[in-house]
Amino acid sequence: MNDSVWAGKILSAQNSDGSWGFFHSMCSISGSKRITTEQALRRLRKLGFTKEDKVISKALSYIQKCLEGSVFIPDRREKFRDWDVFFSFIFSAWLKLFDAQTPQSEEIALKLGTVVEKAFEQKVFNIGLYLSEFEKRFGVKPHNERNFDFVSFYQVVLLKDILTRQTEHLMLKYILNKDDGIYYIYNKKLSLLPAEFKSLQTVRYLDAVELIAEYRYSSSCLAFVSDWLKHNVQEDGFWDLGAKAKDNINFPISDSWRSSDSRKKDCTTRVNRLMCMIQK
């Protein structure tokens, strides 16, 4: 998909340092229509770009420098004590998503893993143990809600392949039954399926499930999602999330959705990929 019409505008907007201006999607200036670095990377990843592509390797080099502290993002620095820890999670997660970890990012992931292992030491999540171990490992008490709970996009990315089998099972069960889902991705309980299959809610739901499906021992706890997807396949063998699924992040992948066949092809490709992940 490197010649996609959707990729063209993103590639042309990249800065010489590898960024796209502001970094964090949630920190962009109000009213600004310019794409952030995170938004660009998220969309390019959905379009099939990898670290082997020049646009991505350039962005990853920029992120590595940000993590090292030799380059600073232009985002407004917010006034909470664990800002630097929060952004170390962000930078490290993006490196991991593109399989471009550094010793520093791997160390951050391992520290976080130690915190979560401690939090589930008694086989249920213990917020007190989580907070004390977080402070011990990162040198600061969680001050903002983004660090007060590990169930956030960045932390969930970082914890993949880090935890013991028992802790991973406990953690996934905890995430699936958390009332407000995964921060930044989906804000509803993941154990409850979307009421309407053809909806933007389902697109967001699949984002969250894909994140969990990356885990080594996730298949058993996601079997209900696989059953739901099978139930929603159409008579022609395709899946269709409907026109509302066009969120400009996951979809469209095809150059145009004027044809419902293109939309169904995109939706089916995504669902098939997720099914393979769940049934691994």
pLDDT given at position 21:
87
pLDDT given at position 81:
84
DSSP string of 110-162?
HHHHHHHHHHTTTSS--HHHHHHHHHHHHSS---SHHHHSS-BHHHHHHHTTT
Percent of residues, the chain, with pLDDT higher than 90:
85
Instruction: Tell me which of 219 and 77 has the higher pLDDT.
Output: 219
Residue 147: pLDDT over 70: yes
Closest CA to 170 of 137, 215, 138: 215
**Do residues 123 and 129 lie in contact, with contact meaning Cβ atoms separated by under 8 Å?**
no
pLDDT given at position 2:
61
Rounded to 10 deg, the angle between the 83-97 and 54-68 helix axes is 150
pLDDT given at position 25:
67
Mean pLDDT, residues 81-103 taken together: 95
Residue 88: pLDDT over 70: yes
pLDDT classification of 28: cutoffs 50, 70, 90: very low
Rounded to 10 deg, the angle between the 200-213 and 260-278 helix axes is 30
pLDDT given at position 276:
96
Q: Taking the model in full, what pTM does it have? A: 0.93
pLDDT given at position 30:
39
Residue 18: pLDDT over 70: yes
pLDDT given at position 280:
78
Residue 189: pLDDT over 50: yes
Per-residue model confidence as pLDDT tens digits over 93-131: 999 999 999 999 999 999 999 999 999 999 999 999 999
Per-residue model confidence as pLDDT tens digits over 231-258: 999 999 999 999 999 999 999 999 889 9
Mean pLDDT of the chain: 93
pLDDT given at position 142:
86
Per-residue model confidence as pLDDT tens digits over 41-69: 999 999 999 999 999 999 999 999 999 99
Whether omega for the bond prior to residue 74 falls within 30 degrees of 0, making it cis, is no
Percent of residues, the chain, with pLDDT higher than 70:
95
